[in-house]
Amino acid sequence: MAKLSSKKHSQTHRCIIYGPPKAGKTLIAGKLAEFYKLIWVDMENGHETLFQLPEAWQDNIELINLPDTRSYPIAIETVLKMVKGPVSICEEHGKVGCMLCKRELSTAQNAIADSDTSEKEKRDLYDEYLTDVNLPALTHESVVVFDSLTQLTNSAISHITKNESDEYKLTYDDWGNLGKLLDIFLSHIQQAGYNVIVISHETEAETEGKKKTLVPVGGTRNFSRNIAKYFDHVIYAERKNKKHVFSSSTTYATTILTGSRTGVAIEDANEPSLLTIFKPELYGDSLDPAIAEGTSGARSSAAGTVNSAAKSAVTANTGAASKKSTSDILARLKNKK
Ligand SMILES: [Zn+2]
């Protein structure tokens, strides 16, 4: 039997960062490349922002580009395969086991087979066509970034309705299937042995007492309202006075869903950084970057008084959600569309 104290500080973190466009979500996640190996699953073609990082940090980021569109919704298919096991993804289509690209690679390999080709050249040729990735084998030294859950949701919807016309209205079963697909993805990353960052946008959801609250987008409004339960940290990003502002404590604002299971209040740091979550030992009690080592214990007990984690907010929301009638939810979904 494991002692509770040994379970207290989980080695990995699951974060969702959400907010409006241009709020600095990509960059704050990318900065983790200073200390971690990042696998960046880009469904938004948003990786250009990462070129602002020092080159040495960029070397720690492996980019997997998934060119997801309405007519080619590849992201949901590839991401679900990625979280389950080792895969080989083609550069051109973002597809697992792409026969077209495998054939092209093999033609190219045959063309250089007889010549005096080094192992490195062979490897480079392979890398031009395919990326091998094995997420379940990753450890706490890696961070996998999914950018974004909004696009993954769109991809799943396009996938579910791929044989329908543009006029098509999603049925109750379609929305149910969307929820199932997203649940498979989120459940896998919830159990992952690596760190996870999911980037998303914001939507307004009604919680208990008809209060409007901003929550991360993921699936239907109903599903979005409960999405925080899959994460340890729910971080809101916004622009205030031309600055990027981030918040993670439960008490930050009553109309914005935020929370941190380890009690981190990212808004208290001098410079907003995810290291307040990933490497709290770099910070003292005040969340100013500190040189002191071994302060993580003090840090978490100090913050313990600040909040009681995202889950409590979420539990309240779930209760409100289940009281809503199905037809009500569907009606609102149709309006949204
Ligand atoms: Zn391909």
Please report, for the chain, the start and end positions of each structural domain, with discontinuous segments joined by +: 15-86+134-299+319-336
Reduce the DSSP state of residue 215 to 3 states and report it.
Answer: strand
For 49, 169, 190, 238, 317, the CA distances from 184, given in Å and listed in that order, are: 29, 24, 10, 29, 21
Mean confidence (pLDDT) of the chain:
84
User: Span 15-86+134-299+319-336: which CATH code?
Assistant: 3.40.50.300
From the CA of 89, how far away is ligand 1's center (Å)? 8
From the CA of 90, how far away is ligand 1's center (Å)? 5
- The structure tokens listed for 39 are 């696998």
From the CA of 76, how far away is ligand 1's center (Å)? 16
From the CA of 318, how far away is ligand 1's center (Å)? 41
Q: What is the pTM of this model?
A: 0.82
From the CA of 93, how far away is ligand 1's center (Å)? 4
**H helices then E strands: how many in the chain?**
13, 12
Residues 165, 87: Cα–Cα separation, whole Å = 32
CA dihedral 227, 231, 233, 235 (to 10 degrees): -30
The pLDDT tens digits for 36-69 are 999 999 999 989 999 999 999 999 999 999 999 9
Quote the pLDDT of residue 3: 63
Residues 284, 267: Cα–Cα separation, whole Å = 15
* 133 pLDDT above the threshold of 90: yes
CA dihedral 195, 126, 106, 132 (to 10 degrees): -10
From the CA of 123, how far away is ligand 1's center (Å)? 18
Reduce the DSSP state of residue 325 to 3 states and report it.
Answer: coil
From the CA of 151, how far away is ligand 1's center (Å)? 20
From the CA of 27, how far away is ligand 1's center (Å)? 29
Quote the pLDDT of residue 112: 86
From the CA of 134, how far away is ligand 1's center (Å)? 18
**Amino acid at the residue 106:** S
From the CA of 250, how far away is ligand 1's center (Å)? 44
Helices 99-113, 119-129: crossing angle, 10 deg rounding: 160
- The structure tokens listed for 319 are 């209760």
- The structure tokens listed for 251 are 């008490």
CA nearest to 160, candidates 100, 70, 287:
70
Give 48-51's long-range contacts (Cβ < 8 A, gap of 24+): 50/26
Residues 6+ apart with CB under 8 A from 99: none
From the CA of 100, how far away is ligand 1's center (Å)? 6
Q: Which region holds residue 19: left if phi is over 0, alpha if psi is between -120 and 50, else beta?
A: left
The pLDDT tens digits for 201-258 are 999 988 777 788 899 988 888 888 889 999 999 999 999 999 999 999 999 998 999 9
The pLDDT tens digits for 88-131 are 999 999 999 999 999 999 999 998 887 788 889 999 999 999 99
From the CA of 164, how far away is ligand 1's center (Å)? 25
From the CA of 97, how far away is ligand 1's center (Å)? 8
Q: Classify residue 318 as exposed, middle or buried by CB count within 10 Å of its CB (0-12, 13-18, 19+).
A: middle
Q: Classify residue 283 as exposed, middle or buried by CB count within 10 Å of its CB (0-12, 13-18, 19+).
A: buried
From the CA of 122, how far away is ligand 1's center (Å)? 19
Residues 104, 129: Cα–Cα separation, whole Å = 8
